[in-house]
Structure formats: structure tokens, C-alpha cells
A and B are shown apart, each in its own frame.
Chain A
Amino acid sequence: MLIKRIQLLGRIGLAFLGDIGRATLILYHALVGKPDWVHGFGRLIQQLYSVGVLSLVIIILSGLFIGMVLALQGYTILVKFGAEHALGQLISLSLVRELGPVVSALLFAGRAGSALTAEIGLMKTTEQLSSMEMMGIDPLRRIIAPRFWAGQISMPLLALIFNCVAILGGYTVGVEWLGVDTGAFWANMQSAVDFYADVMNGVIKSVVFGTVITWIAVYQGNDCTPTSEGIGRATTRTVVYSSLAILGLDFFLTAVMFGET
């Protein structure tokens, strides 16, 4: 009985190490195999479209509503202390430091990450990746690398768009609807938000999240069991693992970036 449990533990450990090894190899090849700008530019643009541009609708709409809710909730609390003029500060700091990178990353994992996994998984299931290998074309360079770089580039841009739209949503509710002074709203925001400490740290978070999400997505697609059930499981794993990784890394990055202030 004990021996069987030890064996099971060993099998799980070896499988985990195997996963880490294969995922690291994919990351290595994706990083080394960045698209060459002569032949690969078109592919990168195509992937930027499917990974980034097609995620715009969900990012913009979510950003708008989150900004509006933030303004509504913030106002109801601030107004009790007569501090509603600080609404701009509250919205902007919440967004650029936390909500922008984290929520946009969660949405990105759900929209683009799952699509990447499903697409690569289906290519594997229909032997398209194998046929590419047999043509002497490395799928890690031809398929994985452009998608990885597109995810890397798209994520911070989507987070910035999310922030801008959310601030506009907050402005609409706070200033246009609830009557907060326009000057106070923007002036407080301008004085409270530091470009490097707040905006750039948020961008760094987005870059890290983008890397992790696309890494998980392309690995799960490339490593899935080549059946319809396997693709389904891999897609679910992408969303679950990405979401957990985003939240865990966010805590770690926040502690490093803002822990001492």
C-alpha cells in the first residue's frame, strides 16, 4: 500500500517535471524563434489581429462598465466624508495599479488564451503540426512563435486601452451624472498618478501577465491529447491556470512594486 502511494507520488512528480521541461522548451524556442521581419512580419500582423484586435470589444466594454461601477461605488463612500473630489484619484490609481492589468489579463486569458489553445490543439489533432514538421518546417517557429509574440505585444496595449476606457467610464458617471467637479476630477488624478511608479508598474504587470498567459496557452495547445475531449480539457486548463497565475503573480508583483510605500 505504502509502496503504491510512493509510486503514485513519483509518477505525479515525474509528470510534473516533464510538463515543466516541455513548457520551458517551448518558451525557449518561442523566444529564440522570434519572427524574422522579412517573412514573419505578415504572420505577426495576422496574429496581432486575431489575438489583439479581436479582443478589443470585450476589453473596451468591460473597461467601460468597470470604470462606471468604480465611480459609482467610490462616490457613495467618498461623499460621506465630503471627499468626492478625490474620485479621479481613486479611479485612476485603482485602475492603473491593479484593476487594469489584472482584469484585462483575466479577460485576455478567457478570450485570446482559450482561442490560442483551441486553435493549436485542433492543428495538432488534425495532424497539421505533424505535416509541417515533415515538410521541414518547425511548427514552434512557424506557429507558436508568432502567436507568443503577438500575445506579448497585445496584452500591455489592451491593458492601457482598458485603463483609458475605464477612466472615461468613471468620468461619465462621476462628473456627468453624479456632478463631481471636472477640474477636481482631472487635477486630483494628475497629481496622484506617477508615470513611472504607477503607470509603468502597471505596464510591467501586463507584460508579465501577457507572457504567462500566452506561454500557458501555446503549451496547452501543443501538448494536448489529440482528441476533441483533449482540446476541451486543454482549453479549460488554459483559462484556469492562467487565471490562478495572474492572481498569484499579481500579489507577488504588487508586494515587490508597492510593498514598501
Chain B
Amino acid sequence: MHFKQTATHKVMKPNLDNLVEIRQLHFMRNSRVIFEGININVTRGKVTAVMGPSGSGKTTLLRLIGGQLNPDSGKVVVEGENIAKLSRQKLYESRQRMGMLFQSGALFTDISVFENVAFPLREHTDLPESMIRDLVLMKLQAVGLRGACQLMPGELSGGMARRVALARALAMDPSLIMFDEPFAGQDPISMGVLVQLIRLLNDALKMTTIIVSHDVKETMSIADYIYIIADGRIMGEGKPEDLLQSGTPWVQQFIQGLPDGPVPFHYPARGFANDLWNETV
């Protein structure tokens, strides 16, 4: 079942334009509220970004979409299926249509780059070896690493490892691909390559992309629509150009990276003078 999001998120009608729909999502971890009734739409064929400060639950959101976590209430609908209600077998079938790029790359360290990319093909298909070879080389060519196919993951730089992980995530031609902090810790060249690859591959392969990141400039340059989350709520949403014009102080502080504002510089504490006079901390 699909739902259409309205301005208030209250009236829900089927909407085939959305590949992922999140409705009234509540999620807690160890009595800490991560999400407090958020609503998100991910439009087919577009790059949707979810941004927010560290610890705001961005990665958790991807795990909820992938069914690795279940919401406390609300629903996560992917391609018309409520992920939390799927049987184990159906969930694994559904994941074959998703690709996910983890922050660490998560390559299998005991097999080569080629075998890493071939891994999902060997597991899910009975294709002949010659075809697997061609497919793997095509995917590696797409990320510019065909020449590195015989290297081991330990021999790759951080940026190369992420590109190999991207090739592996693309191996099964997924309809949805999710990126968890793809730009974190990358040098400027690797970052530029990844930014370009994400946009190009999304458009060329007619995929739907979700990027989770706190790198404002890079994410804004390729996203079609952005959600900014913090404190379990959506603090702002819209197209990049709209967010830049946003009048919300919190959104402006986040986008411009201001050290003080609605998110205070100082962690809440008792009076400074009290601390100085008292000998105990």
C-alpha cells in the first residue's frame, strides 16, 4: 500500500511516485528516543538526503528502511511492502532489490575486490562464470576500479574501498541504494569522485538514492530533496535551494555550521562560578 504525503502528513493516499514512505515512525533505544513520529517520502528516481548532526539517528533510519531494526510504532513502506511485517524469507527477498553502502565499506577482507563484487551474484544467481566475470568488470568499470580487481581490500585506500563497496551494492541492479555517510573521512579528490558517481549512477541506472550524511556542501550539490533531522524530529525539509533560504534558526545553524545558536556551544551544566568554588566536579 502506498500513501501520499500532504503538508500535515495526516491524510494518506496511495502514491506510486514514492519508493519509500515512512509514516509516524517512533523508535527508542535503551529508553532514549531516536525518532518521535517522523514522516519521510523518498521519490522514485531521485536523490533524497537525510542530514543531521552526529547521533541524530541517520544510520538507524537506514537500518529501519532495510529491516535490520523494527520501529516501535509507525511504518516503513518500501515498494509497497511494510518492511516490519514481512516474513524473514520475504525480507531477504526484498533486500535483494536494495543496495547499501556502509560507512566502513564493509568489504569482505579475506577475498579480492573481484570476488567481493561477485559475491552477491554468486549467492543469488546461477549465472555462468563468464557472465559473472563480465558483470563484475562492468560494475568495477562504472566506479573506475576495473584495474584494481585483483587487489585485496587491505591494499585499497579508503576512497577506493568505498567505490568497490558501491560496485558491490550495484551488482544486483537494485532499485534503491542507500549511502551511509559516503563522504566521511575522504580526501577532496575521493570526495569529488564519490559525489559525481552517486549522481551519475542514480540517473544512468534509473535508481532511487538515499544519502545519509552531515557533509552539507557535498550533499546539497547532488540531492533533489533534503530532510534535516535532530532530536527525533524533522527540523526542516525541502529542495536544497529552499533550505538555503530557510528562516528556521536551527536549519541555518546546521547548514552554515555556526558554533552557537539553537544548538548551544556549551553542554548543559550548573553555574560556572559554582563549579570553580566547589572542589568536587
Contacts and interface: CB of A to CB of B under 8 A. Distances in A.
Nearest to A142: B123
Given A134-B95, A135-B96, A126 B123 contact: no
Interface string B149-193: 000000000000000010010001000000000000000000000
Given A135-B172, A137-B123, A127 B106 contact: yes
Contacts of B228: none
A182 interface: no
A193 to B, nearest CB: 43
Interface residues of A, number: 12
B221 interface: no
Contact of B120 (A127, A130, A135): A135
B120 A137 contact: yes
A190 interface: no
Nearest to B101: A131
A128 interface: yes
Contacts of B104: 126-127
A213 B17 CA distance: 51
Contacts of A126: 104, 106, 109
Contact of A136 (B92, B108, B109, B168): B92
Contacts of B124: 136-137
25 contacts: A127-B102, A128-B106, A128-B108, A128-B109, A130-B63, A130-B102, A130-B106, A131-B100, A131-B102, A133-B66, A133-B68, A133-B95, A134-B68, A134-B95, A134-B100, A135-B168, A135-B172, A136-B92, A136-B93, A136-B94, A136-B98, A136-B124, A137-B92, A137-B120, A137-B124
Given A134-B99, A138-B92, 19 more contacts: A126-B104, A128-B106, A128-B107, A128-B108, A130-B63, A130-B68, A130-B102, A130-B106, A131-B106, A131-B165, A133-B95, A134-B68, A134-B98, A135-B95, A135-B96, A135-B119, A136-B120, A137-B120, A142-B123
- Give the 10 A-B residue pairs with the shortest CB-CB distance, closest first: A136-B96, A131-B106, A127-B106, A136-B95, A134-B100, A127-B102, A135-B120, A136-B92, A137-B123, A134-B66
